[in-house]
């Protein structure tokens, strides 16, 4: 047998230990990459929550100063339109329309009346943003009750599936 090895020369290939070490290294790299992606997504969700809380606080800061909501030109307690709210908020340096969501898209202010209840599930002033369903659900669970049809946060679709849905954060 030894003579046969001498004739054939040195054996080539990897030992089981070398293969195992290689697989462990590959596993660690994949785990680090996937973990990093999740950390980035979690950071984006945290920023999205902070943005919504900041806009909510900005609307009430404006209310405290002027005794009316931003964009409520006729004093009826309702946002008159997206542009008028942004004009008032920017004039007081409370928020800027150019701020974009970490998930893309822009924030929009509005008033949900009885004609929109089928979409927003309630009436009132809101700030909305278009988000992936799982992100919208995560935000609803952090800031409200986690149900897309009740509370101060509602959505025009369930929190499962693909695509994007509109999230409404009501300014009560």
Which residues, other chains included, contact 3 with Cβ-Cβ below 8 Å and sequence gap of 6+? none
Q: How confident is the model at residue 166 (pLDDT cuts 50, 70, 90)?
A: very high
Number of Cβ within a 10 Å radius of residue 4: 7
Q: Which of 76, 31, 45 has the alpha carbon at shortest distance from 138?
A: 45
User: H helices then E strands: how many in the chain?
Assistant: 5, 4
pLDDT of 3 higher than 70 = no
The pTM of the full predicted model, rounded to 2 decimals, is: 0.82
Our measurement of the distance from residue 16's CA atom to the centroid of its chain's CA atoms, rounded to an integer in Å, reads 45
Residue pLDDT, tens place only, 24-33? 999 888 887 8
Establish how many alpha carbons lie within 13 A of residue 5's alpha carbon, considering only the half-sphere containing its beta carbon.
Answer: 5
As a whole number of angstroms, the distance between CA 16 and CA 150 comes to 58
Residue pLDDT, tens place only, 54-100? 999 999 999 999 999 999 999 999 999 999 999 999 999 999 999 99
């Amino acid at each position: 047998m030894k003579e046969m090895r001498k004739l054939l020369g040195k054996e080539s290939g990897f030992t089981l230990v070398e293969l195992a070490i290689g697989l462990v290294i590959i596993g660690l790299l994949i785990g680090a990459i996937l973990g990093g992606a999740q950390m980035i997504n979690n950071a984006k969700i945290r920023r999205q929550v902070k943005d919504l809380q900041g806009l909510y606080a900005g609307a009430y800061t404006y209310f405290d100063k002027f005794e009316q909501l931003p964009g409520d030109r006729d004093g009826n307690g309702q946002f008159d339109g997206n542009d008028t709210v942004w004009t008032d908020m920017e004039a007081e340096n409370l928020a800027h329309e150019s701020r974009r969501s970490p998930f893309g898209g822009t924030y929009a202010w509005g008033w949900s009346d009885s004609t929109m209840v089928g979409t927003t599930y309630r009436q009132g002033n809101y700030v909305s943003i278009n988000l992936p369903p799982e992100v919208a659900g995560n935000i609803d669970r952090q800031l409200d009750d986690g149900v897309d049809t009740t509370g101060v946060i509602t959505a025009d679709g369930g929190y499962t599936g693909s695509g994007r849905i509109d999230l409404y954060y009501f300014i009560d």
